[in-house]
Structure 1
């Protein structure tokens, strides 16, 4: 009964904190709208703007939890929290604006006020969380609001976990004991209680009311893990497994749930369904906006192609998409119509005679890629991701370039981390393709909404004109 009571009280406390955090966010959205209106702004409809604010408040209540901003961030990256908050608010605002467009009321809103409100709200949402975490960090550095951690394991992996805890003084965790179930060795550290016997270790954990026991052990030590789990099966202790899988995993070792069971991804898409949903939502909104804004440019490009060379305006080619699904990618035609041998693709080279004058300009400025926003709208591509190659090149490189096929764990992109770092154009040597793949895998391992924004900005600033694009 005591166990049930403590668990119930813990859930109620978490639910209350989450409810208060949501209420605070909604109030800050309203306050930011009022602050934005106090400053000089363009003409707007006050009643309609009030309805827009109310709509965004409701959307925030529904959408922000998807971005994990109300979960416990003890020991987790504050930068990721900040990015999640900003990304969540941008999605809320975009959805609100989309509703206004559908109702044909967007034209009655003051654009200056709307932009100002968006920025002020983002600043308030981030500042409030950073302030709370700064206060908690100060409290934790003073030795309060800490969770005591006993680390089980041996060797370099255990030492790395202990070092990470010690270095994260604001995280709210403090290592207080170690136990080596494999070799029975103790740690010579005055600040840690060290044990070589499980019974002594377990009794100490219970006596000192230690909240956390972290198992920093290899995956092969199943028997030792089961012994510890069985020992603490009747205790209110958080047992967390931090396996040493560095030599096995292709990407970050995130834990997922499969048919109700926890699973560690060793070789699977490193992006969670939640992250993919964020990315897909951004892709569709950005692609629609880009096509609307660039439609005059696309019409001029189409006319220039048609007037200067024979053949269709668009060129299409089969490419591999996410999880190996094949689709047809669209580009503005930049070459003269020519016969091509089945199963053989000849990459464009510098001074390639097949490229037209207009085509050379389009390829150099990447304007030939604009029709791919239609691929994005159809869900076949992303705005940012690894660039897709011809299927013939996939067959060639997947066996000779390490990690090549893992580029297709997510949707290919119009631009990517490799492209903004100079890896564009012809890959006439395997080393070039290897470097491109390494950049693509870095993107998959480190994806964030902020990284996508950085790549988009870099594409606009310096990626549109590149000496390697021909």
Structure 2
């Protein structure tokens, strides 16, 4: 076993977190009071903070194996843990009527300093381990079993993610039908390879092969993993879960659950409120110009489909002359469309017609970032033509999105354009993070508002 396996970070760092809290507390006491001599009530407070850190870290699975955890994700989760600890500690002090006995500045310094120590240590350890793994050390030998193409795909993934520290100890290419002799031979090869892990890389239809291999390896100490091949299935935020006491492979689920849902909504409220205040004078000016230049209402309202299929009214500044569609049809705006007013052409080209949708965001019916909502008639049209089209509705629709900042705005006059837009929307849902949202917002400011395809 390597040093990191004898003393894995998920075992070592609970002790280090406790050390960080106490070291941060002593340093904060010196900064606040100029003394390292802590009163017993401050020692008690540090014990409570340390206990909260251990409990919340354990509840959020922050002490699980880090071999495949991205550094930014690890630090982001740790920041949320420390934030939760701070909120919980402040609440306990308030309800215990002990605010006068503890310095708020000391508590703040303690949390900040301890987070910097805990986060910095994690960063150094993770970067150090990755450096060692990339140089060939601290690696776990893996034996791959599966059809030729599946094994090649997984082997390529191992090479592309060399920082995870896996190395191929052996490969067994198999065919759909395996007899008992083949199974026994594979088990002997795995034993000789001294692999620490066995990855069974087969498509779902070879489930019986998985059962046979797993039974043949019942006396082996190697870790056995099943890496199913889903062929051309479009997966969405796939993961393992437990339902009704049974292990489940989630093929298509929303990423907006638990803490992610809270973060996403907080992002919408904070950023949406700030932007709404900043654009208020602009909205009033646009409303006045629309009212003075063409008859009809200032706002255009239309039902769209939100998350999980719920319908809601989306708001836009009216950019067309008032007209009726035939038989309830919805005709997409085209270049040089006669229905568009002169003011409306400018609003659509600069995306200023979308500003009222920040009200939809504050209502909770839309998000700042997400797949753009399409007209209900377009959903009916494309859901049978574009695979996984309706999976866009696993999350709230957005004012801007990954497709829009990648040039996929405006008219979708061909099936290929809609397919590309859906592909980008599904990629966003599958890779969602707060940092991705912030990146899209910044990209929207610089290149997402004005687009030659918006008319």
User: Displacement, 1:388?
Assistant: 0.8
Distance, in Å, in 1 between the alignment partners of 2:348 and 2:325 is 20
Which structure 1 residue ranges, 5 or more long, are not aligned?
1-9, 38-55, 104-108, 186-194
Please state whether the residue corresponding to 1:273 is helix, strand or coil. Answer: coil
8 Å contact kept, 1:254–1:270: no
Please state whether the residue corresponding to 1:466 is helix, strand or coil. Answer: coil
Distance, in Å, in 1 between the alignment partners of 2:444 and 2:149 is 41
In the other structure, the counterpart of 2:144 is 151
8 Å contact kept, 2:350–2:449: yes
Q: Are residue 239 (structure 1) and residue 232 (structure 2) matched?
A: no
Which structure 2 residue ranges, 5 or more long, are not aligned?
33-48, 95-103
In the other structure, the counterpart of 1:279 is 264
Q: For residues 389-439 of structure 1, give each alpha carbon's deviation from its aligned partner in whole angstroms, at most 9, with x where no partner exists.
A: 111111122223344323223221110122112222223333332332233
Please state whether the residue corresponding to 1:279 is helix, strand or coil. Answer: helix
Show the 5 A alignment for 1:61-460: 69-74=62-67, 76=68, 78=70, 81-83=71-73, 85-86=75-76, 89=79, 128-140=121-133, 145-166=138-159, 168-179=161-172, 182=175, 197-199=182-184, 202=187, 210-233=195-218, 236-251=221-236, 253-266=238-251, 268-269=252-253, 271=255, 273-274=257-258, 275-460=260-445
Output the aligned Cα RMSD.
4.6
Q: 1:383 to 1:62 in 2, by over 3 A?
A: farther
User: Displacement, 1:172?
Assistant: 3.1
Distance, in Å, in 1 between the alignment partners of 2:23 and 2:168 is 37
Distance, in Å, in 2 between the alignment partners of 1:33 and 1:321 is 48
User: Displacement, 1:132?
Assistant: 0.9
Aligned length: 418
8 Å contact kept, 2:62–2:77: no
User: Displacement, 1:242?
Assistant: 0.5
Give me the TM-score of the superposition, normalised by structure 2.
Answer: 0.74
User: Displacement, 1:162?
Assistant: 3.5
Distance, in Å, in 1 between the alignment partners of 2:445 and 2:60 is 27
Q: 1:92 to 1:463 in 2, by over 3 A?
A: farther
Q: For residues 113-153 of structure 1, give each alpha carbon's deviation from its aligned partner in whole angstroms, at most 9, with x where no partner exists.
A: x9xx99x9998776543421232234446765443333332
User: Displacement, 1:387?
Assistant: 0.6
User: Displacement, 1:164?
Assistant: 3.6
Q: 1:229 to 1:129 in 2, by over 3 A?
A: same
Q: 1:273 to 1:239 in 2, by over 3 A?
A: farther
Please state whether the residue corresponding to 1:256 is helix, strand or coil. Answer: strand
Please state whether the residue corresponding to 1:338 is helix, strand or coil. Answer: coil
Distance, in Å, in 1 between the alignment partners of 2:85 and 2:305 is 31
8 Å contact kept, 2:130–2:165: yes
User: Displacement, 1:369?
Assistant: 1.4
User: Displacement, 1:276?
Assistant: 4.4
Q: For residues 372-395 of structure 1, give each alpha carbon's deviation from its aligned partner in whole angstroms, at most 9, with x where no partner exists.
A: 122223332221111111111111
8 Å contact kept, 2:148–2:174: no
Distance, in Å, in 2 between the alignment partners of 1:355 and 1:95 is 54
